[in-house]
Amino acid sequence: MSRIPIKDRDGIARMREACAVAATVLEQLKPLCRPGVTTQDLEEAGRDWIARLGARSACFGYQHGARRYPAHTCISVNDEVVHGIPSLRRVLREGDVVSLDVVVWYQGYIGDNAFTVPVGPVSPLIEKLLRITREALDLGIRQAQVGNRIGDISSTIQQHVESHGFSVVRDMVGHGVGAAMHEPPEIPNFGRRGTGERIKPGMTLAIEPMVNAGAYKTRTLSDGWTIVTADGAPSAHYEHTVLTADTGPEILTVPRLVAAQVLS
């Protein structure tokens, strides 16, 4: 029996709203990733946009073991894979890659998305890393079809990434998302076709390939949060929250135009 929550009409409508907010916030942060900007600048912009849109950060105060996450966004630079803590001391430079992860809580539901931005021109290797990771997300989303299995998403992402000489992180996985940030099922970025739970209509899934230019191994920094690649090679991360509609997968984390009165 599946423990994966199925959203009804009302739940889907609310997920749509929460995801639109998460995507709109993320969209505001992308153009700010320029040389000289600190990751704390990005955090403050994210924090302010989340508030302006009437939402709350699902990351701020998020508890893991004895620790609470201290920021409203996760900003991970270069060899940082995910859960980088924004800092005044971390100044972006040309050639960096910045993963922005925005998770908001809005009227009882959670929207989760991430995007990796190049700062100015980046090396050909990093260009390729970003492209392959984006493609892996896109191919994974296409597998989120009713009747498929979770393993079809996982294996498709892994195959695309590894066939281009990169590796998928094993220590962190995608996940169901809804009233809580992490619901069943786990969605690894590696696995075998035809395995895992069957996809049904009304599931909302956060699909999020984390891809390393080098080996897949990671470690956690002494801050207790920041995950980095063990070999120091750069990493990329893209994420969408996706609805498994009976008409096919639908990306819910799509930005909305922001009304002029919100901007002023």
Among 59, 119, 130, 141, binds ligand MF3 (CB under 6 A): 59
Strand partners, 97: 118
CA proximity to 187, closest of 171, 179, 176, 198: 176
Q: How many residues bind ligand MF3 (CB under 6 A)?
A: 9
**Is residue 112 a contact residue for ligand MF3 (CB under 6 A)?**
yes
Among 17, 96, 101, 152, binds ligand MF3 (CB under 6 A): 101
**What is the smallest separation between the CB atom of 92 and Co ion, expressed in angstroms?**
23
Among 69, 106, 115, 166, binds ligand MF3 (CB under 6 A): 69
Nearer to ligand MF3, 59 or 252 (CB): 59
Encoding tokens for residue 171?
């220590």
- Please give the span between the terminal C-alpha atoms of the chain, in angstroms, as a whole number: 50
DSSP state letters, 85-147: PP-TT-B--TT-EEEEEEEEEETTEEEEEEEEEE-SS--HHHHHHHHHHHHHHHHHHHT--TT
Strands 174-176 and 183-187: antiparallel
Q: How many residues bind Co ion (CB under 5 A)?
A: 2
Nearer to ligand MF3, 74 or 203 (CB): 74
Which one of ligand MF3, Co ion, none is in contact with 83 (Cβ closer than 5 to 8 A by kind)?
ligand MF3
Strand, helix or coil at 23?
helix
Which one of Co ion, ligand MF3, none is in contact with 105 (Cβ closer than 5 to 8 A by kind)?
none
Among 81, 206, 211, 252, binds Co ion (CB under 5 A): 206
Among 80, 112, 152, 183, binds Co ion (CB under 5 A): 112
Among 74, 92, 141, 242, binds ligand MF3 (CB under 6 A): 74
Q: How many CA atoms lie within 13 A of 173 on its CB side?
A: 19
Contact pattern for ligand MF3 over residues 177 through 206, marking x by CB under 6 A = ----x-------------------------
CA angle at residue 70 from 209 to 207, to 5 degrees?
A: 15
33 alpha-carbon distance from chain centroid: 17
Asked whether 216 and 168 are in contact (CB, 8 A), the reply is: yes
Q: Binding residues for ligand MF3, per CB under 6 A?
A: 59, 62, 69, 74, 83, 101, 103, 112, 181
Residues of the shown chain interacting with Co ion in the complex, contacts defined by CB under 5 A: 112, 206
